[in-house]
Amino acid sequence: MLNILYAPWRSEYINDKKEKGCVFCNISKNPSMDEKNHVLFRDESCFIVMNKYPYTPGHFMIIPHMHLDNLESLKDETWLRMSFLAKRGVALLKEKFNAEGVNIGMNLGVAAGAGIAEHIHMHLVPRWQRDTNFITSIANTRVYSTDFEKIYKTLKNFSKDYFN
């Protein structure tokens, strides 16, 4: 017997119209759309945005404004800024979001698993003991246990204390 898990909120992922150009550059160039795009923070070198299709609740990315597909060409000052924001992001996720751990990662290139390989970005994924289950392994499905907008508002509220 085939079991079906209905997740209508995921239809946006399948039916979403593809943006023209780089999705990250579009976010970078449109600060007036920060709330709609779920931007947590931005400065002159980087911005932090919630992952639209997160691995776990609270998953966000640190992205340089400069459109680059390789880490080697990133300015040292921008890399240092990204690293500082990652350090502060871990503190935010642990102290205010009660994450028990955090995965930090970059998939550099399609061969490394990058979904958006043309613009480098760093993932911060909050983790909790026992936050994975069998459904991802056997059904290629993730269960997202809480409301995305609520998480965005919570993290946005605390962002000013951690990223400024």
Superfamily for the 49-163 domain: HIT-like (3.30.428.10)
Partners of 79 in the β-ladder: none
pLDDT per residue as tens, the chain (164 positions): 555 555 555 555 555 566 688 999 999 999 999 999 999 999 999 999 999 888 889 999 999 999 999 999 999 999 999 999 999 999 999 999 999 999 999 999 999 999 999 999 999 999 998 766 545 544 555 555 578 899 999 999 999 999 98
Q: What is the structure's pLDDT at 129?
A: 86
Domain boundaries, the chain: 49-163
The pLDDT, as a whole number, for residue 8 is: 57
pLDDT at site 14: 53
18-24 long-range contacts, Cβ below 8 Å, gap at least 24?
A: 22/67, 22/116, 22/118, 22/119, 23/116, 23/119, 24/63, 24/67, 24/116, 24/119, 24/121
pLDDT computed for residue 10 by the predictor: 53
Distance of CA 58 to the CA centre of its chain: 8
Judge whether 106 and 122 are in contact, CB under 8 Å. Answer: yes
| pLDDT for residue 93 | 97
79/96 Cα distance (integer angstroms): 25
